[in-house]
Structure 1
Amino acid sequence: MPVNCSSCETQRAALRRPKTGHSVCKECFFQAFEEEIHHTIVSAKLFQPGEKVGIGASGGKDSTVLAHVLKVLNERYNYGLELILVSVDEGISGYRDDSLETVKRNQQQYELPLKIVSYQELYGWTMDQIVKQVGLKNNCTFCGVFRRQALDRGAMMLAVDKICTGHNADDIAETVLMNFLRGDIARLRRCTAITTGSEGAIPRCKPLKYAYEKEIVLYAYFKKLDYFSTECIYSPNAYRGHARAFLKDLEALRPSAIMDIIHSGENLSVKEDIRMPVQGTCTRCGYISSQGLCKACVLLEGLNRGLPKLGIGKHTTNFTISSWRRNR
């Protein structure tokens, strides 16, 4: 039997929201989804009028929905932001080259500027080349470290005030689980923060922090947004995949589990006598780091010296700046 929208009570319901369980029509869903993101932005004071904001754009559903919604809200509520798409080309044949075509189409569709930075130009390596060296077991370690820094480098080139990423509620809940299982107190303490990097780096914020992945997919589907849906060919062995599978099982039993885990992370308190990493800068590249050398420089040194596993694990080796320059 057809069910009417629980919001407007006139239109026929087109979907049931995974987040709330309410049956709503498409228009009411769009409005509710966008207004919830607007509330997140306003309540967390993510932006100030006149700021130049970079949007991390991969061509996937999260970043595509983020770009679309930010453009809509920027115009609807007169945020006064200058929005720019920033993409990272990791150099993965048959995956990133295809997804970047989607990003280029988004650039035209949303009429936003686009900056693409590549691992090849920044590090002298592509992910395809890195995988040939390190295999599939630890490749996500390299990619995660390099991609984070590459996005910052691209943002610095554009002189943006903030970077927005498409991390959603599922992503953050997965990260809480991963850090808990690893016993990584430092990351566990800050992984639920909606804004990071305000101590010196370009601040990063997550406007989709409380948006469920399923609802992002529904929004993209009903809005007929153009996005790339293929998973990275190198990611099946990623540790995050196990946390994701566990979270999906929990969500099937209790849909609020995602938000419950996030709130648990937000309310975490750490004993005062626990030593936390002190943020400094890398002695080589100047990037933020809690060690003398940032993780990217250590990993890159290993690759250039033919010792790709050098930076993986708890023990790393210090190198002189001169040796690093010789091996660049």
Structure 2
Amino acid sequence: MLPCAKNCGNKASMKRPKTGEAVCQNCFYAAFEDEVHNTIVKNNLFKPGDFVAVAASGGKDSTVLAYIMKLLNERHNYGLKLVLLSVDEGITGYRDDSLETVKRNEVQYNIPLKICSYKELYGWTMDEIVREVGRKNNCTFCGVFRRQALDRGAMLLEVDKIVTGHNADDVAETILMNLLRGDVARLQRCTNITTGAEGALPRCKPFKYTYEKEIVMYAYFKKLDYFSTECIYSPNAYRGHVRTLIKDLERIKPSSIVDIIHSGEALSIREGVKMPTQGVCKRCKYISSQDLCKACVLLEGLNKGLPKLGVGKSSKVKEQLAIINGESNGDNTRKRGCCGSGGECQSNNSPEAETMKCCSSSTKQSKRQSKKSQAKARLAAEKTAPPPDLSEVYNERDADEEFDFFGCGGGTDLLQSLNMDDEDDVRNTADPGDIENLGQLAGRLLHKRNNAP
């Protein structure tokens, strides 16, 4: 067995995922705690006398955070007053069990606990929301509501700051998510160790540079009481795909996580780029860059029987809200009940929800007709056009899913999708999984089909 890299005389019992050092448990504890302390001090996260709410879910991150905050507060005399703040989303079989863990932590760490619930704040539980919206977009609702619920609970407690258990993996995932979405505003903010400083309640991330694996190892070796079951609705979350990518990168190069964080910190926005201005929601007075905050828009949809109202681009949401509320939106020709396409809606005298459904279905139908017309025109042009440049075929992705080669799976599936039987072409490709070869094959088969008698 290797000796501890810290030259303490003990045998190494583990290898740190972050640095690759072989260390004993005691040296790991010391290094882990010192790194969190240095992060707090270097970034001036607290000042003596602060009343701090620890966001506690019962999971590994928040449990270790509560333990570390109490430990460092006593060891280094931060002078903080701590309180545990939990949110009950109303997820049967998940949150009710995790809250039992938080209640045990309250006794174990001697820190008072405050629990806020979605039902009290919004009139809905997540189980009820999922029954309305399905499992595709439920994380949008939970993320928005949970963030606001934490702030509302903290305001009731009159705390100075909130600390969350977001670790280095979480920050790296958020950077990539905002990068893939092209969300410049959030991409600029998400790397900050303290967010919301311009508002009433700043949020701090003491674990910003702490790896998730090391948090798990610390909780395991310290035998901390935490809840490890994943949320039953989270497997469908968009973040899950980015998390898989991050784990693959970490497996290849462990420093990938902190490298992504440093890259996000180094990004800057060019002067002259218009950024959303932060204001307050006209309805609930919560911080928002729109007239209505996201939570109010989502609640509006739920309460009016249109659960997917707030899911999508803000411009479309504004348009739909104007129709629901009977506003002209500056266009005198576009009245309630009008589909906006020159024709009158079939349900002019119907309730608002029915009017919205009619307008929405009419718009979708016109878009489908437009796509079909474009596809037919494209096929007609291809029949009379010369053979395509096969070297560029794989770069062109058809707008209509009906003719999308990249959705066919490749190989024999590609032939079946084109209703042809030319397996020789498949065998002649150097690699059936190679996109360029499949693109060339698709081009040849499409040309052959279009010119067939």
Q: What TM-score results when the alignment is normalised by the length of structure 2?
A: 0.70
* Deviation (angstroms), 1:281: 0.3
Which amino acid in 2 is paired with 1:212? Y
Which amino acid in 1 is paired with 2:317? T
Match of 1:121 in 2: 120
Match of 1:285 in 2: 284
The answer for unaligned runs of 5 or more in structure 2 is 327-453
Which amino acid in 2 is paired with 1:83? L
Q: Cα 1:306–1:15, aligned 2, differ >3 Å: closer, same or farther?
A: same
8 Å CA contact 1:196–1:203 kept in 2: the answer is: yes
Q: Partner of 2:36: helix, strand, or coil? A: helix
Q: Partner of 1:88: helix, strand, or coil? A: strand
8 Å CA contact 1:88–1:151 kept in 2: the answer is: yes
8 Å CA contact 1:201–1:288 kept in 2: the answer is: no
Distance (whole Å) between structure 1 residues aligned to residue 125 and residue 244 of structure 2: 29
Q: Partner of 2:177: helix, strand, or coil? A: helix
Which amino acid in 2 is paired with 1:203? P
Q: Does 1:162 align with 2:167?
A: no
Match of 2:397 in 1: none
Q: Does 1:220 align with 2:186?
A: no
Identity level (%)? 71
Match of 1:130 in 2: 129
* Deviation (angstroms), 1:148: 0.2
Matches for 1:1-328 after TM superposition, within 5 Å? 2-314=1-313, 315-317=316-318, 318=321
Which amino acid in 1 is paired with 2:121? L
Higher deviation after alignment, 311-320 or 254-263: 311-320
Q: Cα 1:171–1:39, aligned 2, differ >3 Å: closer, same or farther?
A: same
* Deviation (angstroms), 1:8: 3.4
Distance (whole Å) between structure 2 residues aligned to residue 163 and residue 268 of structure 1: 26
Which amino acid in 2 is paired with 1:316? V
Q: Which has the higher helix share?
A: 2
Which amino acid in 2 is paired with 1:171? D
Distance (whole Å) between structure 1 residues aligned to residue 72 and residue 80 of structure 2: 10
* Deviation (angstroms), 1:319: 6.4
The one-character-per-residue Cα deviations of 1:107-152 (angstroms, maximum 9, x if unpaired) are: 0000001000000000000000000000000000000000000000
Aligned positions, number: 321
8 Å CA contact 1:40–1:207 kept in 2: the answer is: yes
8 Å CA contact 1:8–1:28 kept in 2: the answer is: no
Match of 2:393 in 1: none
Which structure would you say has the larger RCO, counting Cα contacts within 8 Å and 6 or more residues apart?
1
Which amino acid in 1 is paired with 2:204? C
Q: Partner of 1:316: helix, strand, or coil? A: helix
CA RMSD of aligned residues (A): 1.2
Q: Partner of 1:236: helix, strand, or coil? A: helix
* Deviation (angstroms), 1:4: 1.2
Which amino acid in 2 is paired with 1:112? I
Who wins on radius of gyration, i.e. which is larger?
A: 2
The answer for unaligned runs of 5 or more in structure 1 is 324-328
* Deviation (angstroms), 1:278: 0.5
8 Å CA contact 1:51–1:80 kept in 2: the answer is: yes
* Deviation (angstroms), 1:70: 0.5
Which amino acid in 2 is paired with 1:277? P
Which amino acid in 1 is paired with 2:149? A
Distance (whole Å) between structure 2 residues aligned to residue 8 and residue 123 of structure 1: 56
Distance (whole Å) between structure 2 residues aligned to residue 82 and residue 302 of structure 1: 39
Q: Partner of 1:117: helix, strand, or coil? A: strand
Which amino acid in 2 is paired with 1:184? D
Which amino acid in 1 is paired with 2:117? S
Q: Partner of 1:86: helix, strand, or coil? A: strand
Distance (whole Å) between structure 2 residues aligned to residue 28 and residue 238 of structure 1: 37
Higher deviation after alignment, 173-182 or 310-319: 310-319
Q: Cα 1:293–1:319, aligned 2, differ >3 Å: closer, same or farther?
A: farther
The one-character-per-residue Cα deviations of 1:22-53 (angstroms, maximum 9, x if unpaired) are: 01111110000000000000000000000000
Distance (whole Å) between structure 2 residues aligned to residue 8 and residue 222 of structure 1: 21
* Deviation (angstroms), 1:9: 3.5
